[in-house]
Each structure stands twice: as C-alpha cells, then as structure tokens.
Chain A
Amino acid sequence: MSQSLSKQEKMRIVSNFILLSPPGEFNEVFNDVRGLLRDDNLLKEEVGLATAQHNKEQFIPCKIEGSDKKVLITEHGDKGGGKFYDPHTKQTFKYDHLRKVTSDVKSGKSDQVSEPWRSALEMALFTYTENHFSKGTTSVYGSTSPDGTITLISCTESHEFNAKNYWNGRWRSQWSTSFKPSQKTAELSGILKIQVHYYEEGNVQLVSSKEVKETLDITNEADTAKAFCQLVLNAESEYQTATAENYQTMSNTTFKALRRALPITKAKIDWAKIAGFNIGRELKKTA
C-alpha cells in the first residue's frame, strides 16, 4: 500500500520532469505536470526554480529592445531576482521564465579589464556563428577576478522546432578560458551538447555530449580571439563529423546485426510450415 507523497516529494518529482523537458516542449510538459499534480497553488509556488534552471541550462535565446542580436539566458548572465545581463549591448533586463518574455531593459555595467578581450572574442565568434549556425545565437561573457585573472565564456545555442512534424532539436556549446594577459598559453575547455526529439507515433531521442580541452595561445586581444575561434571551429567540426560517422556505423553494422531485413533464405517465413498444421491441438470453439 503506497502512502500519499508529501508536497515536498511531489514537487521534487515535478521539478525533475520539468528539467527533463526536451527542446521546444516545455509548455507541453508543464501542462502535463499541471494535469497530474492538480494543485495549482503548489505548482505556482514551487515550479519557478525548476523553470528558471531549465531555461538557463537550455540557453534559451530572447530578444531585447535596442539590440540587433538575440541574447541567451544562461547562468553566466544571471544577475539574480529574475534579471539577466546582455554582454553585447551591456544592458540588463527582466526575464519572465514561464512566459519567456523580456522587459524592463536598462543600461548595465561591463567589466573594464576584460572588456577589450571579450569584445574582440565576441566579434570573432559572431562571424563564426553566422557562418555555421544559421539559426544560432551566441553570448560572450567576460569577467576579472581580484588577482587580475580574466575569464572569457562563450555560449552558443541553435535550435529548430517543428511540432507540426513531431520533431525538435537543439545544439548547445560552451567554451571557457581563464588567464592572466602575461601568460603564453591557457587551457580552453569546451562542452558540446546535442538533443533531438522525434515523436510521431513514438518517442525517439538523440542525447549526445562531448567535453573538449585544448591549449589556447595568449597574445593580444584580436589574435587570441582568432585562435580561440579556430580551436572552436576545429573541435566542433570534429564532433559533428565523428557523430555522422557513428550514424553510418550504427546503421550499416550495429542495426543490421540486431535484426535482419529478411531471413537468410531471402524470403518471408512459410507460416503454414512453422505452425505445422496442428489442427488437432488447436484451440477449438466447441470443446
């Protein structure tokens, strides 16, 4: 006999489901969860945190007034209290996580020490994104720690939603490096993620991720940005190519070995033979 769950336990499960929403299907998952929980007050109170976390993890792109480019919702731009920062226009804005709308755009402050490095990198990465992610958005963040270490973080998101044909997909990549300008090299770390969901009369998902570590040459702002970009291009192309190779192997080898298209006789089964004319032992209506 199962005991009724406490409100806390229910919300833990609900939050977990929300965090697992596939790209483009947050609303559907939210509505399902709402129908199952049947407690709108509890939902309203508790679901905010999971929703915000999901948006930040998914790198949701949004448009703000006064900007030619979209900006990503990420943990790096989270200023607390529902406010986020756009490093490209150096503005802050309020973000409604549930409705996914921006408001209250105000001018913000950028970090002076890292800004030349950040803006050079942003320029290079915007070109890279235009060239390789036709539906993509990039946000580049810069910060400086008290000891003078500069940290640059770039986030890229690209998605395609096609609910009419029962599929959605999203690419996310995040690259970061920390260095003092006097250094010759620094470590460049990358995380690449792909998720695709196909759901016409079924549920098929591709969940893929890769971590990358490269060595970045630190020179001046412009050349470092160029080198950063080149490493990103090489690594992301390698990931995409290797993924395509896997598809090839999976389809030509692994899949075929699981189930043949036809038996080795090259003909379908002779069921009369297999069923063996077992009339006597067959299930009869009259018995």
Chain B
Amino acid sequence: MEDPQLDCALDLMRRLPPQKIESNLSNLIELVPHLCENLLSAVDQPLKVARDKAVGKDYLLCDYNRDGDSYRSPWTNQYDPPLPDGAMPSERLRRLEVEANSAFDQYREMYFEGGVSSVYLWDLDHGFAGVLLIKKAGDGSNKIKGCWDSIHVVEVNEKSSGRAAHYKLTSTAMLWLQTTKTGSGTMNLGGSLTRQAEIEANVGESSPHIANIGRMVEDMENKIRNTLNDIYFSKTKDIVNGLRSTSSAADNKQRDMLKKDLANALHKRNQPAAN
C-alpha cells in the first residue's frame, strides 16, 4: 500500500536541485526516519566507487550490495568491512552473477571505453532480480567536469516451463556536467531521467537470460542517451534563450519593418509597367 508520506518525499526529491541529492536525501531521512529503507532504495544517488584490494579492481556501491555498513564486491563476493553472516546470493545465482559481471564488463567497454561496472543479483520466488551499475567520469578536458551514472534494475519472472520469462526493467541515467570559466561563470547542468520497459522473451541456448537482459539494457540506454542529449543540450538551452534575448526587440522590429518595405518595393517593381 502506498504511503502518502513516501509520495511527498519522492515528489520533493524530483523538485529539489539534483546537485544537492546527497544532503537533501540525508535531511529527508532525518525528517521522516520511518521511510529510511524505502528512500534509500527508491532514490537514485550518484554511484560511489570502492576498491577490491584482493584483485585490484573497482566496484560500485548501492543499496543492493549493502548489508549494514558493509558492501559486497562482485569480483570476490566478499564484504568490506568483513561480515561473517552477510546476505549472499545462492550458489547458482552467484554463478550467473559472475557471468553477468563479465558480460556487462564487455558492454561497458564497448560503449563507455572506460569507467566501472558492477552487477548484483538476488533471488526472487519465481525468478531473480538484479541491478547493473555503470559509472564513467570524464577526463576534465575543455575545463568541463562530466560524469555518467547508470542504474538498471531488472526483475525476471520465469515461466514454469523454464523456456520463457517476463523481464521488467527500470533504468535511471544520471548525467553531471560542471564548468567554471571567466565568460560563463559557474555552470552546473545535472540530474537524471528514468524510464521503464517490459518484455516477454524465450529463454534458451541462443537467448539465455544475460542475452535477453543485455539487449533490453542496450536498447534502453541508447534511447535514454538520445533523450538526455535532447533535454540537456536542446531543451534547457531553449528555455534559457526564452528568458533573455541577445538581440534587441526594437532592432528586431526595425529589421522586420525594413524587410517588409523591401518586399513591397520589389513587388511594385515586378508589376507590369502601365501602358
């Protein structure tokens, strides 16, 4: 059952500047502590990176690989700080998780050419669920700091035959851009977009779960990338140019009148001469 206070909290998070997500979320949780768990799982935050020292690889942190104050590494399946009885995926699911991490590591490399990715799975009654995280930071060239965070949550409901499944995907892409320059001052363009998709697909040799999920994620991320491009660099820019016009309205009016006069003069000239 929906908690009306949760609705208020989520609506608030959609309006407050995303540049301050972390402090806003922490203040919100202080205000309504009984919603803490719901908010931590429902509100997307920029992803944090941790180092798995055992294998020298980075991994990403989220609520789904957290138990208490410890986080589970997808590479070694160990908690840091160590937790003797931390929540673990079943053995079979862990094997799938290892493959998923390897597959999406390749996906990440092909589209992001860098960055960090992590996949975490957990068991459900009639299937399983998982989250795919990707983080890519820009190199700061052109004095612009940029960062992309992807959070894809997928729910897999397997049909009893085992040969088909229903996939539900909720994807959030966060894009952060900031620059400080003499001409434009401090410019901070940031936030996120969320989309959902659902499909039914066959599960088998040529389309195992990872392939079905991979196709869904790839299509979804490509779509969101286009939308981000439109919203960030067209839409918000158009809104800015609607607030103030670089050209003067008086000059525009004069120019329009001149255009009209010229058109009239041309028209008269092109009229057949009177006999």
Q: A residues engaging B (CB < 8 A)?
A: 2, 4-5, 9-10, 13-14, 16-17, 20-22, 25, 28-29, 31-33, 35-38, 130-136, 158-160, 167, 169-171, 192, 194, 196-199, 201-211, 236-247, 249-251, 253-255, 257-265, 268-269, 271-272, 274-279, 281-287
Contacts and interface: CB of A to CB of B under 8 A. Distances in A.
Contacts of A32: 8-9, 11-12, 15
A284 to B, nearest CB: 7
A29 B15 contact: yes
Interface string B31-47: 11100100000000000
Contact of A21 (B15, B139, B205, B221): B15
A17 B186 contact: no
A16 B28 CA distance: 11
B240 A237 contact: no
B196 to A, nearest CB: 9
* Max count, chain A CB within 10 A of own CB: residue among B13, B31, B32, B215: B31
A277 B209 CA distance: 11
Interface residues of B, number: 99
A159 to B, nearest CB: 7
A250 B177 contact: yes
Contacts of A205: 17-19, 189-191
B139 A210 contact: no
B250 interface: yes
B239 A240 contact: no
A211 B183 CA distance: 10
B12 A131 contact: no
A198 B187 contact: no
Contacts of B147: 258
Contacts of A131: 248-251
A262 B136 CA distance: 16
B245 to A, nearest CB: 6
Nearest to B249: A131
Contacts of B225: 259, 261
B86 interface: no
Interface string B18-61: 11100010011011110010000000000000000000000000
Nearest to B36: A2
Interface in B58-108: 92-93, 95-96, 99, 103, 106-107
Contact of B243 (A160, A201, A250): A160
B260 interface: no
Given A32-B15, A271-B103, A281-B95, 18 more contacts: A5-B31, A13-B28, A135-B243, A159-B243, A202-B192, A204-B189, A205-B189, A239-B184, A251-B229, A251-B232, A251-B233, A255-B175, A255-B228, A258-B136, A259-B136, A277-B208, A278-B210, A283-B209
B199 interface: no
A132 B248 contact: yes
A260 B113 contact: yes
Classify the secondary structure of A's interface with B. mixed
Contacts of B265: none
A261 B233 contact: no
A254 B142 contact: yes
Interface of B: 4-5, 7-9, 11-20, 24, 27-28, 30-33, 36, 92-93, 95-96, 99, 103, 106-107, 110-113, 128, 136, 138-139, 141-142, 144, 146-148, 158, 160, 162, 175, 177, 179, 181, 183-195, 204-211, 214-215, 218, 221-222, 225, 228-229, 231-233, 235-237, 239-246, 248-251
* Max count, chain A CB within 10 A of own CB: residue among B28, B95, B139, B233: B233
Given A160-B243, A208-B184, A274-B214, A199 B15 contact: yes
A258 B15 contact: no
B112 to A, nearest CB: 5
A268 B248 CA distance: 47
Given A237-B246, A278-B208, A285 B191 contact: no
Nearest to A202: B193
A44 B259 CA distance: 58
A22 to B, nearest CB: 6
A272 B18 contact: no
